[in-house]
Structure 1
Amino acid sequence: MNNKTYLAIPNFRNDQTFNVNSNIYLWQNDYFEIFQNIPCGGIDSESFNVDDANYLAIANHYSGSSYKHNSQIFKFGENSFEKIQDIQTNGAFDWEKIIINNQLYLAVANFYDDSTRELDSYIYKWEGSSLVRYQSIKTKGATDWDSFVIDGYMYVAIANYHDNKTHNTESKIYRWTEPLLNFNLSVTPSYKKVPPNTGITTFIVKSNQSWTATTTTPWLTIQTNNNTITANYEENTDESRTGTITVTAEGASNSPQIVEVRQESGIIDLEEGLVAYYPFNGNANDESGNGNHGTVYGAILIEDRFGNKNSAYSFDGIDDYIGLEKFYLQGKK
């Protein structure tokens, strides 16, 4: 978010109480630093984005006295997450984001309601500025949701744990009744040329399904926010190089897309614009080819710092010097 990387860690309990904080961490170049404490003892979290705003759902499992415990939805404000909605849940174990034809749904897995594990889990639909219950699904001690696309249809799987009598119970897979709209994934531009010094470049992603971006290039780090990938590249002191970013949208006909960051060489060409070169190979001749030879006045040849004989000059500090009788610059006298 805002070209920054956050990590949400729900904390369920400590050794004394279920009344604990969950934590949001902010990435600081090479470590995570605590950013915000959220006063809820959660067991799972799910982030999602709607209309360029960022949200976080926390699944609250147990209050310390009851499994009938509200889960919560937070919205990222100017500089913190703020609670915008309580949702009644029963031993909530998991939130799962599902995007169908550009419409956001969230599924919650209800585990136990203080009396039974045979109870409904729910799918909520985002409408306006909050989640509204959309569908109930019979579950048995539900612990997890997952969603996936096959041949243009959206599926959801629910993991059932216990039916009040046995763990030997069926889990279920459901299919959305209508096919997904045909859609493509677009990432532009296909490559960016960047200089050898450290810097940042961006790519734009267009897709009506959720997407992810990853890289295995060691000198690239990436962040995603809304429809933008921000790539941070390190300084290059060697030959030119190319890094790749893979963008994937589940179910897209042309997914994945691979874009490139092409970084120029950081090797300095000492011969470009060279006027004179004096290696002192037994004399003060210019070996650049420009003919700017030196004339030695009093200085004497000695060993250089590497022990090479007649490869350096010693000056008395009074009147010894090497002079240039004629000097040629860019082919002119």
Structure 2
Amino acid sequence: MEIAAKIITFILLLSLVVSPILIINRLFKLNLNNKFIIYLISGIIITAFLTLTIGWWSTFSNKILLSHYGYNFNAMNDVERFENVGLENLDRVKQLEINILGIGWPLKAYTVYTIYSPYLIIVYLATCYYKKTKNSFCIRINMKKLLLIIICNLSNIVTGQNLPQLKLQDPIGKELDLPGIILNKDEICVILTTNQGFTAYDEKTYYTFKKNGKIEAYEEMAPKSNLKYLDLKKSGEKIILDTATQKYFLDCLNSKVTLDFLNYSQSDFTIENNEPVTTLLKSHPKKYEITFLQNNNSKSYFFYEPRQQFRDTNSRINKIILEKFIKLLELWQMLKT
């Protein structure tokens, strides 16, 4: 099944590479006027369709493979989800699951086409140059317009990633101390914080999504806010992320799991009723917190021992929201799947 999926993917990618070459050669044989305009319009239509097909197929093939390996899409928890998956396939299935939890296939297709589109111009210029050197014949085109098209497409590549507009309403508090992080307009910082009750420090990881396409990461051990009187010192260091890791966290940021959860607030974790609190946490529960920053606004969520409380029978906990929060923590690798 893996081989069949890869063969289809290879054929689609090959079609995307070859189709502009076939189009321009066909137009030169027909000897039509306005070849460049006809080539550009037909090339965009055909290659955009192929890119959408590749984007759809990447998600659809992942779902086929997950079913092939025994993944249960209708399960309510991880145990049920992976119970039919062979141990030797578990890592592969988890990777496929992450791919599905990432950004949707239409956005993937748009991102790929933004990077791919200058290839149409490159093919035209290369073919035109070849015809000129071979037959001393080349269609004259408006070079200023062509240069403008190239610059526009290159600017899309240079600016890197398209950052989402997050639904954040709370102003960033003065107590938030960012370790040398400067956020320009639309840039995003995601702060992952964990702490064990008996320790004096919060463990924080900062992921800063820049408009130039880079993701900067920083790990920090910061004294808990209620222990500042002890004059404890914070420490930290920058983390170098490889290309694959940067892509993973960009997918996390753009994923449906993340963007949908930002529609909720901290108060949605609880249900107002007259039932007493029955949850019994261990003496030093671990706190998980995730904070999003963009354009001077923020949104934070936290919960103590989310998996334990999800299993408890406390009727005041909104289990639907808590389960979504657990998936969010798993996606951002704060909880192991």
Please give the range of the TM-score, normalised by the shorter of the 2 chains: under 0.3
TM-score by length of 1: 0.22
Q: Report the TM-score when normalising by structure 2.
A: 0.22
Which structure carries more strand by proportion? 1
Tell me which of the two structures has the higher relative contact order, counting C-alpha pairs closer than 8 angstroms and 6 or more residues apart: 2
Q: Which has the larger radius of gyration?
A: 1
